[in-house]
Structure formats: C-alpha cells, structure tokens
Chain A
Amino acid sequence: MAILLGALMPDFTKLPVYGLHIGNWEVIKAPEPWMYHRGWPGSGPTHSLVAGIVAACLVYVVTRSKPWGAGILIGYWSHVLTDTADSVGTMMFFPFTTQHYSFGMWQYASQEGRYGDAAAYFSSLGWAWDVLWIVLVLVLARKALTAEYFHTSVEPADPFWGVLERRFHLSAHVRRAVFRAYMVYGAARVVSWFLWARFLNPDRGVETMDLSWTGPDWVQVPPRFQVASTWGGFAVVTIIGIVGTAATAAVAWHAMKRLPEQLPRDAHPVVGAERQ
C-alpha cells in the first residue's frame, strides 16, 4: 500500500496541468503545462529523487514504520524514474541540477488537454509500455496476485492490512480486493482509454496510432528543456546530481536512525498504532 501511495505522490500537484473547469469557468490552469508539471520554476521538483527521500522521511516520522518509509520511497522513485520515458522527462537530481533526463519513448502531451493527452499516450509507445507491464505481471509475477501470497507475504509485512481487519472489520476477500484493486483498475483504464482513442475519439482520423520513437508526430511538441550541450557537461551535472542525492539519502538515513522506534504513548496515528 505504501508503494502505491508513493507512486501517486509526485502527481499530487497535477491538477493545474489539465486545469479545473466548472461549466465555462476555468478555475485553475497552468499556462505552460509542461513547465508547471516537470519544469523549474514549476512543480517539477516533485519529480525528483530527493523529493522521494523527503516524502519517505515525513511518512517515517509520522508512522515510525520502516515498511511504510521504504514503501513510499520505492513507489515515489518508481514514478520519477518511469516518467523519464517520455519526451520531457524529469529533473531527477533536482536541486543539484535542473538537467532533464528523458528517454523520449513517447511525446509528452499534457498541453493537448486531458483527452488529447490520453489520445496521444494511448496511440504511442506509452500504450505499448503499459501493456508490457501488465503482461509481465500476469506472466512472471502472477503469484503476487494470489490469495496465498497476499496472506503469507503481504499482510504480515504491512501493518495497514491489520488496521483494515481489526479496526474496519473487513473480511479476507475484501482485503484481497483492496490489494488487487489498482491492478484491475489500471488494466481496465489501459483497455478503455485505448478503445476510446481508436474507436470513439472524434479526432481519431487525425490523432492516429503512431508507435514510432517519440511518437505520435501529431502532438504539439513542447520546447526543449535544459539539457547539457555536450556529453562532458552531461556527465559532470549527472555526477553532481548522483553525489548530492546520495549525500541527502545518507543524511536522511542517519537522521531517521536517531529517532526512537516507538511513537510517544499519546500519539496514535492509524498505521503506527497497529504496528506489531
């Protein structure tokens, strides 16, 4: 559960990217979605490894649960790393460098709006990327979805499930449903968005399937972000970023180790209170 929440955290500031509209009233909308979402100035620093360390430390301070601290970090970093696959990428080593790291497998397209972005993503290698992960889970990690694995490996390791059982009295099949819900939801969204993009999208004649690298080519391309002009420059900022991030992680690790493992008696956060 912590991994899942960690994976969602970097996009908690994403609302202005597509904007919030009530009727014809535009409540909030970033003028340059790509800059707001991934750039600096903007909320791009949320997509950095250091932000993941900060989030994991905050969760650990509140819960004093090592599985939750580690889970938040793993989930958060997985989001930061996988977002490097699109054409804008992430400032992975912010604040040590604003260098964007991008593999450019598919075109970043939030500037096309919610449905334009969906049409672009599910017409590109992004869609293939999603399908690949679903297939990998079903073929190589099917065991992770079984009831036996959940009850023997997941539940004993994560105090969250004990809370659901003892405090909310959820039966075993409902707890398993909570565990599997995101897998089912995610797979369903991949299928439904793909079917919409290919068969219902009113602009599907123009917004066609394009599985080329950095496709689709019909997307308005965002301006290039900071990238080093030479391989030497790239290596220098990357080494600075790696060293800075590693130092931050080391400082955070030692700071967390100094905290007492038990919360004060009068502190009863949901997760910490059920810690075994």
Chain B
Amino acid sequence: MTEHGAEMVAYAVAFSVLVVAGMFLRTLVLNFFVGPMVVVVTVAVVVPLLARRRSP
C-alpha cells in the first residue's frame, strides 16, 4: 500500500469513528477541538502502522 493509500484508509477510519460516535455519544466530547484531533491522531497512528506492514 502506498503512503497515499494508507492515508486514505486512516481518513476513512477517522470519518467512520466520528460518524458512529457522533450518532450515539450524548456528551460534548466531540467538540470543535477534540473532534478534529480524532482525525489527526488516527492518521498519525494508522499511517505508520500500515507502512510497517508494507515493509517487514
């Protein structure tokens, strides 16, 4: 998987997490700061993980 592909997977994961959590969480945790941070943290974690799998 290319780095671009890994990033797309990470964004898809973050988007899905935010959609599902946003539907069910009844707190203010997904606010204007934490919500975008979910995206950043997901990309920061997932992209290197996928890159490591790519090159054992």
Q: Residues on A close to B: CB < 8 A?
A: 8, 147, 173-174, 176-178, 180-182, 184-185, 187-189, 191-193, 195-196, 200
Contacts and interface: CB of A to CB of B under 8 A. Distances in A.
Q: Is the interface of A mostly helix, strand, loop or mixed?
A: helix
A8 B18 CA distance: 20
Contacts, number: 65
Contact of A184 (B18, B20, B44): B18
Contact of B4 (A147, A174, A178, A191): A147
Nearest to B12: A184
Given A174-B44, A188-B15, A182 B36 contact: yes
B40 interface: yes
A192 B40 contact: no
Contacts of B40: 174, 177-178, 181
B5 to A, nearest CB: 12
Interface residues of B, number: 26
Contact of A177 (B3, B30, B43): B43
A188 B43 contact: no
Given A8-B32, A173-B43, A177-B39, A184 B19 contact: no
Given A8-B32, A182-B36, A188 B44 contact: no
Given A174-B44, A178-B40, A184 B22 contact: no
Contacts of B44: 173-174, 177
Interface in B28-43: 30, 32, 35-40, 42-43
B52 to A, nearest CB: 14
Contacts of B23: 192, 195-196, 200
Nearest to A188: B18
Contact of A173 (B30, B32, B47): B47
A182 to B, nearest CB: 5
Nearest to B39: A181
Given A181-B37, A188-B18, 11 more contacts: A8-B32, A173-B3, A173-B7, A173-B44, A176-B43, A177-B7, A184-B18, A189-B18, A191-B19, A191-B22, A200-B23
Contacts of B36: 178, 181-182, 184-185
